[in-house]
Amino acid sequence: MIASAVCSVTGSGRCHGANAVTILSHVRSTRATDYLAGVVRAMAPWRRDPRVIDLSHLAHQAIALSTTGTAR
């Protein structure tokens, strides 16, 4: 359920969650990073869903970029 809510597809074929992560990845903000980490934790029960896997990977890259200045 949460996977489809977070990853509902936009008209461009991109996941709404991916769009949100992309926007947050351009912001250097502890609040934004904490929010994104919280979203990833909230999706843990669905961690085997391919949409959640993709979004979590993207989110972790954005968090790494925000906290270290480089993506891992």
65 in a structural domain: yes
Range of the domain at 36: 21-72
What is the average pLDDT across 10-36? 77
Q: Does the pLDDT at position 45 exceed 90?
A: yes
Residues 6+ away with beta carbon under 8 Å from 18: 7, 54, 55, 58
Stretch 25-48: mean pLDDT, rounded? Answer: 88
Task: Say what the pLDDT of residue 69 is.
Answer: 65
Is residue 48 situated within a structural domain?
Answer: yes
Q: Is 65 exposed, middle or buried (0-12, 13-18, 19+ CB in 10 A)?
A: middle
What pLDDT sits at residue 24? 80
Answer whether residue 71 shows pLDDT above 80: no
Name residue 15's beta-bridge partners.
9
Residue 71 CB neighbours (<10 A): 12
Residue 32 forms part of a structural domain: yes
Mean pLDDT throughout 18-46? Answer: 86
